[in-house]
Structure 1
Amino acid sequence: MYNHYYLAFDVGGLFINGAVLNSRGEIIPNTESYFPSKSNADREELLNHFVHIICRQIGKILDKYFIIDGIGFAFPGPFDYQKGVSFISGVNKFESLYGVDLRTELTVRLKQQKLFLQHASAPFRIVFENNVDMFALGEWTTGKAKEYDRVMFITLGNGTGSAFMENGVLIKNREDIPANGWVYCHPFHDSIVDDYLSMRGILRIAKQLNVHPGLGLKEIADAARSGLEDEKEVFRRFGELLGEMLLLFIKPFQPDALVIGGQICNSHDLFIGEAQKALGNERVAILLSDQTSYRTFVGLSKAIVLAAKARIPEV
């Protein structure tokens, strides 16, 4: 009798978070891991890196008899999720994977790994999904979002992720939301949303205020909390911009709730007040997630099961 597991990876521009989940979608203790993304590496190094972390995660399963039924990757867009092909470009991450059939390339390399061959089920599936879609699905399933009919999701990190959901169903093409549910590429000020509501957006504001150029997000946040005025102003301006951006999409979509996750959300105490001011009289509940990766893993486990039912190509 074998126990069945899934591997889930939340792929970001800076880090890849991984976990092993059981057949009920629960994370196995001591399997949540963090790896560098190596998002600026060349194609071969990146593919080998993915294979390495897959095998590392398989090695964390302590059951004597187990089977891996599938692997789920939550990837940022643009991406052809059905075919497993990345079209990310111009955002300084994963550019070397542009046009690469990741499902095929990873399969070829995994089949050279003894550990994988010993534990992969037949059939076995590699599933690719949008990272924010999976975050939204996980929040709807196990978080506070399920209490609301119409929800907008935003993740703030290396870029600006987004998803729109109504009655538990993701919406991709409708007049009241941006194409594909993506806000990152929407025109904003003299560029696009992604350049302002992201890590580099915060660093841009810091540079304008002559904050020490060597500081990262955590250091700027720590300095702001200690009372340094320039660092506090960085987040105040970020909050204003966030609220201004959100209004562009809240007004037409009219969500009951807004769920914000991502790495920058960990500093929400420094900017969320300004964002709320910018929203004015819009009646929307703002929910802050401190479990972005966990919710994404839950969403991915469900996506792998659904892929099997939908007969997504086998490995």
Structure 2
Amino acid sequence: MKKKYAIGVDVGGSHISVLSMDMEKETILKNGKSCCVVDNTASAIEILNSWKDALGKSISDIGQNDLVGIGIAMPGPFDYTNGVALFTKDVNKFENLYGVNVAVELKKVLDLPDNVPIRFVNDATAFAIGDAWKGKSSNSKRTIAITLGTGLGVAFIESGIPVLERNDVPPKGCLYHLPYKDSIANDYFCTGWFVNEYAKRTGKSAHGVKEIARQTDANPELIEIFNEFGASLAEFLSLWIQRFNADCLVLGGNIARAFELFGPAFSSVLERRSIDIKIQLSNQMESSAMMGSARLMNEDFWKQIQPLLPLM
């Protein structure tokens, strides 16, 4: 019998999310999603065992004999070709996994045979792949997918395939490291920027964007934080939207949930620059990254993605 179920994984800084997909029907299995908290400062074996707990349930539900393989959306730095973690101390997560071949060690703790593939892709790219496959950008030719959270994730997608090396995209298809104002983009388009701005303006501390957004009704002056963020993000993205000739911009990540607050300023800057692009909030959010990683188990698609992994 042909195997038909794949597991898609999204590894976050403090959690692992898993879903199971029927690759023939291209649908998520009923009750096929799960999420587990992970201590990213733990030892390598403790982290692997946390991931095992999440994956083990899905494998058990599917049945190992029907498992095509496991696709994992992983943040960098990571050797996506060979499955080796390259997290260092300055990354502030999973540093005890440095040098560990995650594919090999996961197979050990999960007791999986060698012929079950475990494949990896950058997490921002996985989000973009999943949305282009089953999300709001599925009918677009050229999409820029943005994930806004602890950092800035970006992927350029043409006809469903990431573009990483071309004169109309930045090197490796990444924007987070590019200069912006007096630092780099990643320092401005992230949760940390909101928290710092909130502290400057109020003298108080906040844990995240959601907490700040809740206070805007009682304190309308806080809207200025979102206006500044939206205008700056549009200013920064404008060049790349035009250069890539994108017809769709997809936003995901926790900050994207506050689009109603920063969206007006964002759209206004694009309008002033005569940039006409469809702006979409992901309807799948984190599921897009899991679906994008599960799609690595489609062999035709994998043949197109595999040569790009060394560039991620």
Q: TM-score, normalised by structure 1?
A: 0.86
Q: Tell me how far apart the structure 2 counterparts of residues 104 and 307 of structure 1 sit (CA, whole Å).
A: 24
Task: Give 1:217's aligned residue.
Answer: 209
**Cα deviation code 1:164-212 (max 9, x no counterpart):** 1223321111122111111111122222211211111221221221253
Asked whether the 8 Å contact 1:265–1:290 carries over to 2, the reply is no
- Cα–Cα, structure 1 residues 227 and 66, in superposed 2: closer, same or farther, change >3 Å? farther
Distance in structure 2 (CA, Å) of the matches to 1:88 and 1:254: 34
1:299 maps onto 2:292 in alignment: yes
SS of residue matched to 2:138 = helix
Matched residue SS, 1:259: strand
Cα contact 1:172–1:181 (8 A) shared by 2: yes
Task: Identify unmatched segments of 5+ residues in structure 2.
Answer: 307-312
Matching residue of 2:67: 68
Check 1:254–1:67 CA distance in 2 against 1; reply closer, same or farther (3 A cut): same
How far 1:270 sits from its partner (Å)?
A: 0.9
- Offset from partner CA, 1:197-250 (integer Å, 9 cap, x none): 1111221221221253144322211112x2412432222222122112212422
Q: How far off its partner does 1:57 sit?
A: 2.6
Deviations 1:91-131 (A, max 9, x none): 322333233221122222222xxxxx5xx6x7201111112
User: Are 1:56 and 2:57 counterparts?
Assistant: yes
1:270 maps to what in 2? 261
C-alpha deviation, 1:32, in angstroms: 1.2
- Match for residue 191 of structure 1? 183
Distance 1:277 1:93, change over 3 A: farther
Residues 292-315 of structure 1, C-alpha deviation per residue, up to 9 Å, x if partnerless?
A: 2222232222212228975x8xxx
Query: Could you say what the CA RMSD is over the residues aligned between the two structures, in angstroms?
Result: 2.5
Q: Aligned pair 1:283/2:276, yes or no? A: yes
Identity %: 33
Further displaced range: 236-245 or 88-97:
88-97
Give, in whole Å, the separation in 2 of the partners of 1:278 and 1:43. 45
- Structure 1 segments unaligned to the other structure (5+ residues): 112-116
1:41 aligns with 2:34: no
SS of corresponding position for 1:220? helix
Residue 206, structure 1, aligned to residue 205, structure 2: no
Partner SS state of residue 41, structure 2? coil
Tell me the distance in 2 between the aligned counterparts of 1:273 and 1:245: 16
- Tell me whether 1:29 sits opposite 2:33 in the alignment: no
Large movers: runs of 4+ above 4 Å: 63-66, 307-310
- The 10-residue stretch of structure 1 (86-95 or 167-176) with the greater mean CA deviation from structure 2: 86-95
SS of 1:17's equivalent in the other structure is: strand
Residue 159 of structure 2 aligns with an amino acid whose one-letter code is N
Do 2:135 and 2:283's aligned partners in 1 also have CA atoms closer than 8 Å? no
Q: 1:168 matched to which residue of 2? A: 160
Alignment equivalent of 2:252, drawn from 261, 266, 274? 261
Q: 2-side partners of 1:211 and 1:291: how far apart? A: 36
After superposition, what is the alpha-carbon deviation per residue over 1:126-160, rounded to whole angstroms, capped at 9, x for unaligned?
Answer: 11111222222222222231322211111111211
Counterparts of 1:140 and 1:133, CA distance in 2: 10
CA spacing shift, 1:3–1:304, aligned 2, 3 Å:
closer
C-alpha contact 2:144 2:155 (8 A) present in aligned 1: yes
**Given the superposition, is the C-alpha separation of residues 247 and 95 from structure 1 closer, same or farther in structure 2, using an over 3 Å criterion?**
farther
CA distance in 1, matches of 2:223, 2:201: 11
Kindly provide the amino acid, as one letter, of the partner of residue 66 in structure 2.
Answer: I
